[in-house]
Amino acid sequence: MNRENSNSPLPPEIGKFFSMNGGRSLLVMGSAGTGKTTFALQLLGELADPKKSFYLSTRVSDNALYQQFPWLKDEDMRSRIIDSSRVFLDSLYSDDNGMPDGLEKDETHLQGAKDFLKSINEGPLEPPRKVDRTRLSILLERNRMPEIERIYDKVDSILPDKSMLIIDSVEGVTNKYSLEKDELITCIQKDLVEGSNVNVLFVLERDNDLDLGYLVDGVVKFTHRTLEGRRVREMSLDKLRATEISQPAYLTTLNNGRFMSFEPFNGSLTNKGCEASIWKATPDTATHYSTGTDDLDDLLGGGYAKGSYNVIEVDENVSNDEYYSVVRPILLNFISNDKGIFAVLTGGDHADSVKKDLTCYMENGMFDNHVRIADYFTHKSDSPYIMALGTRNKEEAVRVWKSNMEFLRGPENKPIIDFTGFDTLEYLQGGGVAIKQLLEAVAKIKISQDIGIGIIKPGLKLTQEIMNMADTYLKITDINKCPCIYGIKPKTIVYGIVADEEKGLPHIKLVPIV
């Protein structure tokens, strides 16, 4: 199940899990503030029929829910919210809310026979037409539970169609009626999930009740942690019975009061040919050059300031596709605004592959006229965009360097991007020489309309010096197969990098992890 087709913010495994025949139960656990309630409400909105689903809230009133999640006020969502305290009060003054009907004669024996037939029958049994109250009747001998009884009645009215129930939270019910958590879960599991084909999601307020997992069909755990002082939210799929878990953990966000998980980023353009449209440049301003990504421009206060030196650190767990998802729009937008790029590529990158990647989105000849890539191992090249600097004659190398720089600037002396992979520079010249050259390059950029973009990777000796000189410092990392970016200069939260669904790749959007 691919999100590109399902267009759902939920992990595809969750949708597949709840779409299977029969009822399914999912236990959701996590400490306070990890996103359990938001996930539950999002699941209700995404996977459940508005007329056949309901949400039992025991932790906050429905009005509090509407304040926290304004989108719940939509008519189809509002009808599904069951305020536990309100139902309890209604039941005290209602004449028609009596005890449920008594058990039919021999119902226990019939249920046992049905369970046995289900275990030996390869095909599904006929959908139940009456709600199973076997376990509930036992609990009701100790206490009336009006909201639970009301749920059973609602399920009964929906049968034989399938319904969905969310109980948020289990402790809210068990504490109210002096039950053990396993008693309530077992009751709902046997009566509604197994006996009445209801999909049920149980929300636990604590994250250490793993011993309850054996009672249900699935277990999902929510956590949050910090990454260099920034919040990161994650969910783990610990158990989903009869469902293949292709990815056991997901990066998540609660942006705008909505739950969203991030699937593995697929930014590869290798097999997509050159059928994409020509890149439409985002105009530069009087003070800044656009990165080609609106969200990144906003993060940087308008883009890259003219005369600035800017650093992007690429973590060792980041793939080339993930790295280029950020860099590609920067290069395309600069070229499309008729400005040149003077590049020393990072280790593992090749001039030909960079050209093949970018030329899918520009007119013929634009790349050759706007890009020059230094190659320190080649003595001669027929490709106009490759600067062959492998000669032992230093004067010849300087001449090639200057002539290509003059070509890019043209008679108008246009600004350029000085794009440098520092792992290559440090490898070729050593740390001391590379730092000296960096100081000279940054000094020239500061008094020009040019900008510098330096790419650094873990383990470089000159990392600290680069950080000290940088006007902006961004870091790209991978969290559960999703590329993420955050600012060190300026300091920002973490953003998940996703393809722009409206514009399509290579356009990207940055989704706040909040």
Whole-prediction pTM value? 0.85
Q: Which CATH class is domain 288-512?
A: alpha beta
Question: Are 23 and 197 a contacting pair, CB within 8 Å?
Answer: yes
Q: What is the pLDDT of residues 345-396, one digit of tens each?
A: 998 889 999 999 999 999 999 999 999 999 988 888 899 999 988 876 778 8
CATH superfamily of 3-262: P-loop containing nucleotide triphosphate hydrolases (3.40.50.300)
Residue 63: predicted pLDDT: 59
Residue 234: predicted pLDDT: 98
Name which of 73, 25, 85 is nearest 215 in CA terms. Answer: 25
Residue 93: predicted pLDDT: 41
Buried b (16+ CB within 10 A) or exposed e, 75-91: eebeebbbbbeebbeeb
Question: Are 215 and 185 a contacting pair, CB within 8 Å?
Answer: yes
Average pLDDT, consecutive stretches of 10 residues, N- to C-terminus, the chain (514 residues): 58 96 96 94 92 84 58 61 50 43 48 52 70 96 93 96 95 95 97 97 86 95 96 98 96 95 77 68 97 98 97 95 96 96 92 94 94 90 90 81 94 95 80 73 90 90 81 97 97 97 92 98
Q: What is the pLDDT of residues 445-458, one digit of tens each?
A: 999 999 999 999 88
Residue 376: predicted pLDDT: 86
Give alpha helix (H) positions in 159-262.
170-177, 181-188, 195-196
Residue 97: predicted pLDDT: 44
Distance of alpha carbon 476 from alpha carbon 495, whole angstroms? 10
Question: Are 20 and 29 a contacting pair, CB within 8 Å?
Answer: no
| Antiparallel, parallel or unpaired: β 482-489 and 495-499 | antiparallel
Q: What residue segments make up the domains of the chain, in order of their start?
A: 3-262, 288-512
Residue 347: predicted pLDDT: 87
Task: Kindly state the tokens that stand for 121.
Answer: 């029958």
Residue 275: predicted pLDDT: 57
